[in-house]
A and B are shown apart, each in its own frame.
Chain A
Amino acid sequence: MIELKNISKSFGTNQVLKGISAYFEKGKTNLIIGQSGSGKTVLLKSIIGLHDIDEGEIFYGDREFSKMPIKGKKEIRKELGMLFQGGALFDSSTVEENVRFPLDMFTDKTMEEKSDRVNYCLAKVNLVNANHLYPSEISGGMQKRVAIARAISLNPRYLFCDEPNSGLDPRTAIVIDQLIKELTVEFDMTTVINTHDMNSVIEIGDKIIYIYEGEKWWEGSKDEILKTDNKELNDFVFASDLMRKFRD
């Protein structure tokens, strides 16, 4: 599990995160939702230490992360996988090399063991016969899957996904969402997902926190979110015609 206590972060005079506290459970898909520019990416990057926070505490289990020396941070980072908004695959490496990279860097496995693990992870994301292609040679949805396979190759305890289904068609988006959900349950990971896609919220929102202008405005589950009377959240949830029809 991950616990955030009172996290604040500014860029110059622009305060992006304003005292956010939250609790993300193990084996669950925890969603961070909010409008574009509300601070979701900054929050996610703060949790994993790509941004230094100004105030607050971040707990991985009982280990406080933000004030750790670099060595301790490195240890925790080996326990986490991250799926970036654009995939962030290494474009001079093949699919197989991308997934094998964390194994090359951090394990002493033999080539054969590594290949087995790579193929296992690629099978988990339903990607076969693509091992020797380069990221530029596969579709966006496939790139996302490779990125997921790479993120889980070291058996992470924590999985972070920044807009995992942005830029995908609705069907593929659901497939990716379900995949993340299944992996979360199967490997008992603490998964945190940024999204502004209401489909994902309804599909996989075990726990949801809503960020509004850098503040945590609301939290609850996918069942509660449809019944909320919070004005800003309502505006967000029922922004589309489809969702309004769904409610009425």
Chain B
Amino acid sequence: MKLLYHIGHYFLLMKRVFSKPEKAGVFFRLFIREVEMLGINSLGIVIIISVFMGAVITLQTAYNIESPLIPDYLIGLTARDSMILEFSSTIVGLILAGKVGSNVASEIGTMRMSEQIDALEIMGVNSANHLILPKIAAAVFINPFLNIISIFVGLIGGYLAILLSGTISPEQYIFGLHFAFIPFYITYSLVKTVLFAFVITSVPAYHGYYASGGALEVGRSSTRAVVYSSILILLINVIVTQLMLA
């Protein structure tokens, strides 16, 4: 029952979010700010985890299939497909749900507590549209770039791991990266990234927007926002995979 209530309210809020901004210039300024806040500021963490995950995936694959029957270049292929299919979209999505999600929920929740949202409404500004649309638009715009960067950096991580551990020859790894490449996997990865970008901004925005109580409640709502965003990401992951890869 409670879940239905929240779903209903979420969609009502989204209806207010997706309307024409009052002033295009103001929207554009906020959009640029959010691209920086949500996207550019996440670049560091995305690069770091991608390098390490790429390295670990490559090493694990290498150590697990030490069989003379399986050619070495399959290690490169496995690393590539793991990064594209799952890591750079879903895992990065989950990590950003933590970082971006708590940031969005606490920012908007604080604005609710300190009556800044009321102040906007009183001026005749559609506060949902003004505060939330730039965030959603910015994440949907910038996260695909983060996804591509993550894939690229992850494969470099794998390459470094190969070089340092000497398990297989770098040529074999590189060959594997090119072998039997399916461009549609990239499309699949980008589609997921865009959907996740929507989730990790809109769901926390909902939780912040309807936060009530005090500072403690802002903290709680941002925790809830991260939990719900993460669960939704996992759910969407299954659905999109079934729809696109089956």
Contacts and interface: CB of A to CB of B under 8 A. Distances in A.
Contact of A78 (B25, B118, B124): B124
Interface residues of B, number: 16
Contacts of B23: 104-105
A73 B124 CA distance: 8
Interface in A32-60: 45, 48, 50
- Main secondary structure, interface of B, reads helix
A124 interface: no
Interface stretch (A1-9, A84-92, A237-245): A84-92
A225 interface: no
B26 A74 contact: no
A78 B120 CA distance: 11
B207 to A, nearest CB: 19
B123 interface: yes
A80 interface: yes
Contacts of A85: 115
Contacts of A104: 23, 25-26
Contacts of A86: 114-115
A90 B116 contact: yes
A216 interface: no
A102 interface: yes
A89 B117 CA distance: 10
B123 A84 contact: no
Nearest to B110: A91
A135 to B, nearest CB: 10
B40 interface: no
B121 interface: yes
A91 B116 CA distance: 9
A77 interface: yes
A106 interface: yes
Nearest to A48: B122
B119 A84 contact: yes
Given A105-B22, A105-B23, A105-B26, A80 B122 contact: yes
Contact of A105 (B111, B114, B121, B125): B125
Contacts of A91: 110, 114, 116
A69 to B, nearest CB: 14
Interface in A69-118: 73-75, 77-78, 80, 82, 84-91, 101-102, 104-106
B98 to A, nearest CB: 22
Contacts of A106: 22, 123-124
Contacts of B111: 90
A88 B114 contact: yes
A102 B115 contact: no
A102 B22 CA distance: 11
B210 to A, nearest CB: 15
Nearest to A154: B123
A82 B119 contact: yes
A88 B123 contact: no
B123 A77 contact: yes
B232 to A, nearest CB: 27
Most buried by B among A82, A84, A88, A89: A88
Nearest to B121: A50
Interface in A223-244: none
Contacts of B114: 86-88, 91
B213 to A, nearest CB: 15
Nearest to B130: A105
A96 to B, nearest CB: 14
30 contacts: A45-B118, A48-B122, A50-B122, A74-B124, A75-B124, A77-B122, A78-B123, A78-B124, A80-B122, A82-B118, A82-B119, A82-B122, A85-B115, A86-B115, A87-B114, A88-B116, A88-B119, A89-B116, A90-B111, A90-B116, A90-B119, A91-B110, A91-B114, A91-B116, A101-B123, A102-B123, A104-B23, A105-B23, A105-B125, A106-B124
Interface of B: 22-23, 25-26, 110-111, 114-116, 118-119, 121-125
